[in-house]
Amino acid sequence: MVILHVKRGDESQFLLAASVDAPVDVLLQEITAIYNGRLKVGRICSELSELAEHGITLPPNMQGLTDEQIVELKLKDEWEEKCVPSGGAVFKKDDIGRRNGHAPNDKMKEVLLKTVDEVKALISKKQAEANVCVTMAMVKEGLDQLRGATMIVYPMGLPPHDPIRMEFEDREDLSGTQASLQVLEEEECQLWWAAKEIQRGKKLQDYIGKNDKTKLVVKIQKKGQGAPAREPVVSDEQHKQMMLHYYRRQEELKKLEEADDDTYLDSEWSDRQALKRQFQGLTNIKWGPR
């Protein structure tokens, strides 16, 4: 199997195992599915952390309003009594007015946060450093774990307008958000390797031959953006280490220059003729008046 180290720009994303005779179209489909799936998991994890802190999302017409404005407009959250967390709620007001403030108790909060940490680790970019390939099955497993934890804490489910439920049901609306700029459409995605576009309609072996025991660094990019920037010869970490080594060497040379003193030549132990004079009985001779 060929190992593809998938990057977006200079940022590492994940490792993918692929057959050398895999069609490029299939590769692009799989890569974009995993890439977008990891983004979805990241969005859900972020929202679950907020859910654990401040409870369910308020209806859109109540978000951002003060308590006084809600009373004045006679607005009511009909889902507040329906979506009560297991074990009862603990009030923790959301300062930005996005969630209702009825948070789960500490035990249920721990269920959500622990699951979030486990799923993040499952599809983390650090998996690439550990030479672990990420698959779509792993992404789906992470989504199932998040869905299960949410059902444990909220057995009655979440409101239909809650972004977590919308993500689980694939109804999320990312228009006008920064997250929408990160999502890649499979039809608009290109795959690059060694400053060359790996074109659709061909197979991976058309570019790398039939050697299936190799590792490639490939980059995904939207159409029309041109070739991605070349990888720097020296990474940021290597550059830091080189500068640190250079600084230490400069300090060592500076200390050697400061210690470049020849006064030791006047010392008795540095006299090369001392042994000869000792045999000749010429040591400890003093000149001067008696």
Q: What is the pLDDT of residue 251?
A: 84
For 102, the enclosing helix (H) or strand (E) is: strand 102-104
Q: What is the pLDDT of residue 234?
A: 66
Chain CA centroid to CA 94, Å:
27
Tokens 């057995």 belong to 155
> Does the pLDDT at position 224 exceed 80?
no
Gyration radius (Cα) of the chain, Å: 34
Tokens 């700029």 belong to 181
Written as one string, the DSSP assignment of 144-206 is HHHHHHHHHH-TT---TT-HHHHHHTT----TTSHHHHH---GGGEEEEETTEEE-TTSBTHH
Q: From CA 139, how far away is CA 33, in angstroms rounded?
A: 9
Whether residue 24 contacts residue 191, with contact meaning beta carbons closer than 8 Å, is answered with yes
172-214 tens-digit pLDDT? 988 888 888 899 998 989 899 888 888 999 998 888 888 888 8
Q: What is the pLDDT of residue 109?
A: 95
55-82 tens-digit pLDDT? 999 999 999 888 889 889 989 888 988 9
Cα-based distances in Å from 128 to 5, 55, 104: 8, 34, 35
| pLDDT confidence bin for 16, thresholds 50/70/90 | very high
105-133 tens-digit pLDDT? 999 999 999 999 999 999 999 999 999 99
> Does the pLDDT at position 264 exceed 60?
no
Give the DSSP letter of residue 73.
Answer: T
For 27, the enclosing helix (H) or strand (E) is: helix 24-54
Q: Both tokens of residue 41?
A: 């998991």
Q: From CA 188, how far away is CA 190, in angstroms rounded?
A: 7
Q: What is the pLDDT of residue 27?
A: 93
